[in-house]
Structure 1
Amino acid sequence: MNPYIWFMLISTVVCVILLIYAVANHNSERSFFLIFSSICTFLYTFGYLLEIISPTLEAAFIGVRVQKMGSPFLVLLNYLFVRDVYGEKRFRFRTLCLLFAFPVFNLFTAQAFPLVRLHYTHIEYFWNGMIANCQGYPGPVNYLATAYSFVFVFFNLRRILNHLRGAGKQQKSQGLCLLASILIPLVVNIYHTLSANQLRLDLNPFAVSVSLALLLYSVRNQNLLNAVPLARAQVIESMVDAFIVCGKDFSFLDANRAAKKLFPELNTLQPGDPMEQVKRFEQENELCLQIDGEVRFYKVTQTHILQNNKSSAICIVFHDITEKENQLQKLYGKATFDPLMHIYNRATFFDRANFTLSSDKAKNCRYALLMIDLDYFKSVNDTYGHSCGDTVLETVAVIVKGHFRKNDLVGRYGGEEIVALLENISVSQMRAAVEKLRTNIENTIIPYQGNELNVTVSIGMAHSPAGSVHSVEELLVQADSALYKAKNDGRNRAWLYGE
C-alpha cells in the first residue's frame, strides 16, 4: 500500500478515536457538538480515502459524495462547539435551523450532481499510478459555501483571541489548542485552493484530522470537557469573591486572583502543598480581616466537590459582606441609640436593664438607679432656641456617659431626662460618684454662638442592696420620687430615696 493511502488511513483512525472518546464523554453537555463534528470529520476523511483508492470516476465520485455528507457542517459545528467551551448561551432551535439551512442545501446540491449543477459544473478523473483525484469544478453554491465557512472561521478566531487576553496559564493552553485547531485547516485549505496541480494530494482531510487530534489532546490532558469550562474559569478568576479549592486534607489545589490578594501566601504554594492557615476556616462562617488598614468582614462558604458520591475536594468562597455589615451596624445604631445624645434610647435601656437585673449574678450585686434632669431647661430653649437646647443635651450626655464605667447603662428617659443603672456599687460610692458628676456639669461652660452657658442638674437616686429582688420599675419609681424631692429642695442637688 502506498504511503498516501497509509497517510489517510491513519487520519481516519484518529477521527474514529476522537469520535469514540467524545461519545464516551457524552455526560458533558459541551461534548454535544464535538460528537457531531467528529462524525462529520470521519465521513470527510473516510470519503477522501475512498476517492484516492478508486479505479474509476464513478467509484471516486462515491467517495466525494461521502465527503460531502460531512464537510458542509464542519466549520459550523466547530463554531458551535467553541461557543459551548466558552460557556456562551446556546442558540434557540429556530436559530440553529437557520444556521444549518445553507449547509443542508449545500449537501443536497452536491449529492444531486449531475442532475443539478449548482455545486459542481462538471468533474474530471485523474490517476497518476499512486492516487486518484476526482476534480470538481465549483459552481455558485460551492463559492457561497466557501464564503459561508470563512465567515464562521473569522467568528471563531475573534472569539478565541478575545478570551486569550488576561487568561490564566491553563486557559491560555486550552485557547492555543483551539486556535491551532482552526488555523491549521484554514492554512491548508487556502494552499489547496490556490494550487494549480490537478493531481495534488488534498491535505484538507488530514488537516481536519490534526485539528481533531489537538482537540483530543486538549480533552484528555487539558480537561477541555471535564474540568471547569474556560468561561467559568475566567469568571472565577475575575470574581470579586475569593475562591480557594483545596483537597480533603486542606492541601492547596487552586485559587483565583482575589484569594491570592486576600491571602498573599497562596502565591508561593504549588498544587498539593499543605495549607495550614486555611484549616481555621473549617468551623467558621464569618471572618474579620484587616486589609490595607481597613477592617473588612467576609462570609465563609464551603462546598464539597463530590466524585462518585464521595468528597474529593473542598471549595471555599470568601464573600465580602463589609458593606452589609456596615449597614447592619447603622440600622443597629438607629434602633439602639438616641440620635441626639448618642446614648441608649428608652426602649433599649429598659431591655438591657431588665436583662441585667434578671440575670443570676444580679442576686449578689448591689445596684443604683439615677434619674438626672436638667434644671430650667425650658428657659434655655426659650432664650437661645431649640438648636442651643440640642447642644446642651448632647454636651451633658457626653459628660454623663464618660463619668460612669463601661458596664454601667446610660440612656435617655425622655425630654431632658437621663437615666443610669450603676452595677455593684454601695450607697457611699454612689453618693460620691453622683456628687462629682453634678459638680462637673455645674462647672462646664457650654459655648454657643458667642454665648457661654452654665447648666445644672437635679439627680434622684435609688439603691437596691445585694440579696434583694431588683426591679427596674420599682427603682425608677423611687428615683423619680427622689428627683422630685431634689427639685423641690432648690435644684442643683442630688437626693437619695428614703432620706
Structure 2
Amino acid sequence: MEFRSILLILLFTAGIISLFLSVYSFNFRSTLLIKYFRILGAAVAVYAFGYGFELTSSTLSDMLFWSKIQYIGISVLPGLVLMIAICYTGKEKWQTHGNLMVIFIIPLITLVSRELNDFHHLFYKTVSINTASPFPMLEFERGPFYLLHDFYTNIALIITTILFLQFVIRAAAFYRKQAIAMLVATFIQWVGFIFYLFVDIPWNFDINPLLFAASVPVFAVGIFKFSLFDLAPVARDNIFEELKDGILVLNLENRLVDFNQVCKKIFPDISKQNIGLNIRTNLGNSHKINEILSSNISPQDEVLIMEGNKVLYFHLSVSALFNRENKKIGTIIIFKDISLQKNLMVKLEKMASIDELTNIYNRRYLISLSEIEIAKTKRSGRSISILLIDLDDFKVVNDHFGHLLGDKVLKVFTRIVKESIRNIDIFGRYGGEEFVIIMPETSPEKAFIVAERVRESICRNPLKIGDKQIHLTVSTGVFGTAENKFLAFDKLLDFADKALYKAKKAGRNRTIIQE
C-alpha cells in the first residue's frame, strides 16, 4: 500500500471518529462544556476530511479549495480548546460575552483572511505544488495572518495547559483522573503544533489533524467517563431542567458529584471544591448539608434550615438514581422550598385558633385545648381548675368611650392576665368580655389566689389608654376538681359560671369559688 493511501486512511478514520464523538455527545444534556466539545469534534472532522481531500487533489485550484474548507475547522480549534478548559475548570466569571468575543475574534480574522487570500495574499504569500514529494502536495509561504494564527494558537494552548495544571493540582482525588485526561489531551495538541512549527517534517506534511483527532477521544474520556458519563448526564437529563428546586447528586459512596445553582443558594458554603468529597464525613460538623444528611431522614421528609433569624422549610426528597442498564449509580436529593406554604399554614392555623383582637385563643380552640388538658389530667390523676372572668359593666365602657377604645381595654386586660399566669395555663376569650383560664395541676384554692391577684391588679391600677384612665373591675368564678374527680369541659364551665353569677349578684369586683 502506497504512503498516500495510508495517510488517507488515517485522516478519514480520524475524521470519522471525531465526527462520531461529536454526534454521540447529543446523548447528553447540552451544557456549555458539551456544546464546545461537540463543536470541537465537528471542527476536527472538517480539518481531517479537508486535509484528506487536499492530499487526493492533483491541481492547485483543488488543493486551495480544500484548504479553505479545512480552515472552517482549523480557525476555531484554539478558541474551542480554551473554552473547554474554562468551562471544565469552573471559571464561570470568564464566561462573558465580552471574553467570548475576545477569544474568537482572531479565529474570525483567520477564517476571513484565509478565505479571501486570493485578494490580499496576507495569509499565504505564495502557493505552489511540491513536485518533489511522493505525491502532489500544497506548498506555501506563510504570511502575517498565518503567523498571527500561529501566535494565537500558542497563547490559547498555554492558557489551556495552565488551567488544566491548576485544576489537576487542586482537584479532589475523585476527579483527578479525569482532569489528568484533559491535560493529556492538551499535550497531544501541543506535540502536533510544535512539530509542525519547529520540526522539519518531510514534504511539510501536516500532522495536526491526526493529533487533534487523537485528542478528541481523550477529551471525551475526561468529560464523560469518570463521572459525567456514568452519573451527571443522567441526573441532569432527569431533573436539572427544573432548576427551581435545590438538587444534590451523590454517587454510591456518598461522594458529591453535582449540584445546581439553587442548591448553592440554600447552602452558600457548598462549592466545586466539595465535589468528590464524602458529603457525610468530609464537610465538617458545622456544614448544613452534613447536619441534615447525617440525621435519620426518610425518602420523603421535611427539614428546616436557619438563615440568620429566618426559618426556611424544605421538603426533602431522596431518590435512587439508575443508569440505562437499570443499575443503581447514585442518589438524587431534591430540596423543595415550602416556606411559603408552611408560613401560610401557620397563618391559617393562627387565624383558626387565635382571637384576632386580643391575640389569645379563640372560643373554638380554647375548648379544644381544654378538652385535651382535661384528658391528660384524667390520666395523671391530678387536679385541674377553671377560671371564668367577666369584665364588670363593660357595656358602659363601650357606650361611654366608644368601641374602639373598648377594644384597646380588652387588649390591655389580656396583657395583664398573661403576666399573672403560667406558661402551661390555657387562656382564651370565651365570648364578648368573658375569658376562661384552664389551670392544670392546680387546686381551686390556688386558682382562687391567682384570680384575686388578677382582680386586684385590675382594680387598683386604672388602665391607661392613650390620655385616658379607665377604672375597671372584674368578677371571677372559680371551680376545680380534686384528685380522682373528673368532669368534662362543659361541666367545669357550668360550675364556674354559677360561681361567677354569685360574684355578680354579690356586688361584682370579687372572686367566688364554687363548692
Q: What TM-score, normalized by structure 1, do the two folds share?
A: 0.63
Match of residue 304 from structure 1: 320
Q: How many residues align?
A: 407
Superposed displacement of residue 125, structure 1: 11
Please give the root-mean-square deviation of Cα atoms over the aligned residues, in Å.
Answer: 5.4
Superposed displacement of residue 322, structure 1: 3.8
C-alpha contact (below 8 Å) 1:365/1:467 kept by paired residues: yes
Structure 1 residues 212 and 303, CA gap change in structure 2 (3 angstroms) = farther
Structure 1 residues 466 and 51, CA gap change in structure 2 (3 angstroms) = same
Superposed displacement of residue 462, structure 1: 2.2
Per-residue CA deviations over 1:300-343 (Å, capped at 9, x if unaligned) read 33233224434332333444444443333222222211111111
Structure 1 residues 51 and 342, CA gap change in structure 2 (3 angstroms) = closer
Q: Which shifted more, 262-271 or 274-283? A: 262-271
Counterpart of 1:222 in 2: which secondary structure? helix
Q: Which letter maps to 2:306? A: Q
Superposed displacement of residue 260, structure 1: 8.7
> Which residue, out of 416, 422, 442, partners 2:459?
442
> Which residue, out of 290, 313, 323, partners 2:306?
290
> Which residue, out of 274, 280, 297, partners 1:275?
280
| 2:404 paired with 1:404 | no
| 2:348 paired with 1:346 | no
> Which residue, out of 443, 446, 463, partners 2:480?
463
Counterpart of 2:475 in 1: which secondary structure? strand
Superposed displacement of residue 475, structure 1: 1.4
Structure 1 residues 134 and 291, CA gap change in structure 2 (3 angstroms) = closer
Counterparts in 2 of 1:18-417, with a 5 A limit? Answer: 18-19=18-19, 21=21, 27-28=27-28, 45-46=48-49, 48-49=51-52, 51-53=54-56, 128-130=131-133, 131-132=135-136, 213-223=214-224, 226=229, 228=232, 243-254=247-258, 259=264, 262=267, 264=269, 269=274, 271-273=276-278, 275-276=280-281, 277=285, 278=290, 279-283=293-297, 285-307=301-323, 308-359=325-376, 361-362=378-379, 364-417=381-434
C-alpha contact (below 8 Å) 1:281/1:300 kept by paired residues: no
Following the alignment from structure 1 to structure 2, what is the Cα–Cα distance between the partners of residues 281 and 4? 67
Following the alignment from structure 1 to structure 2, what is the Cα–Cα distance between the partners of residues 271 and 64? 50
| 2:443 paired with 1:426 | yes
Following the alignment from structure 1 to structure 2, what is the Cα–Cα distance between the partners of residues 423 and 465? 11
Structure 1 residues 44 and 64, CA gap change in structure 2 (3 angstroms) = farther
Match of residue 12 from structure 1: 12
Superposed displacement of residue 436, structure 1: 1.6
Structure 1 residues 207 and 383, CA gap change in structure 2 (3 angstroms) = farther
Q: Which shifted more, 321-330 or 449-458? A: 321-330
Per-residue CA deviations over 1:64-98 (Å, capped at 9, x if unaligned) read 9999999999999xxxxx9xxx9xxxxxxxxxxxx
Q: Which letter maps to 2:388? A: M
Q: Which shifted more, 1-10 or 323-332? A: 1-10
Following the alignment from structure 1 to structure 2, what is the Cα–Cα distance between the partners of residues 72 and 264? 44
Per-residue CA deviations over 1:399-424 (Å, capped at 9, x if unaligned) read 22232222221111111110111112
Counterpart of 1:304 in 2: which secondary structure? strand
Counterpart of 1:288 in 2: which secondary structure? strand
Counterpart of 1:435 in 2: which secondary structure? helix
| 2:496 paired with 1:492 | no
Match of residue 149 from structure 2: none
Structure 1 residues 201 and 331, CA gap change in structure 2 (3 angstroms) = farther
Q: Which letter maps to 1:286? A: E
Structure 1 residues 26 and 240, CA gap change in structure 2 (3 angstroms) = closer
Counterpart of 2:303 in 1: which secondary structure? strand
C-alpha contact (below 8 Å) 1:373/1:416 kept by paired residues: yes
Following the alignment from structure 1 to structure 2, what is the Cα–Cα distance between the partners of residues 215 and 449? 82
Following the alignment from structure 1 to structure 2, what is the Cα–Cα distance between the partners of residues 256 and 49? 43
C-alpha contact (below 8 Å) 1:22/1:35 kept by paired residues: yes
Q: Which shifted more, 436-445 or 346-355? A: 436-445
Counterpart of 2:418 in 1: which secondary structure? helix
For structure 1, list consecutive stretches of 5 or more residues without a partner in the other structure: 77-81, 87-123, 136-163, 189-199
Per-residue CA deviations over 1:354-402 (Å, capped at 9, x if unaligned) read 2222347446122222211100111111111112111110111112223
C-alpha contact (below 8 Å) 2:354/2:360 kept by paired residues: yes
Q: Which letter maps to 1:275? A: R
Per-residue CA deviations over 1:412-448 (Å, capped at 9, x if unaligned) read 1111110111112112212222212211221232112
Structure 1 residues 72 and 369, CA gap change in structure 2 (3 angstroms) = same
Structure 1 residues 241 and 201, CA gap change in structure 2 (3 angstroms) = same
Counterpart of 1:461 in 2: which secondary structure? strand
Superposed displacement of residue 456, structure 1: 0.7
Structure 1 residues 424 and 270, CA gap change in structure 2 (3 angstroms) = same
C-alpha contact (below 8 Å) 2:444/2:481 kept by paired residues: no
Q: Which letter maps to 1:303? A: S
Counterpart of 1:492 in 2: which secondary structure? coil
Following the alignment from structure 1 to structure 2, what is the Cα–Cα distance between the partners of residues 362 and 72? 86
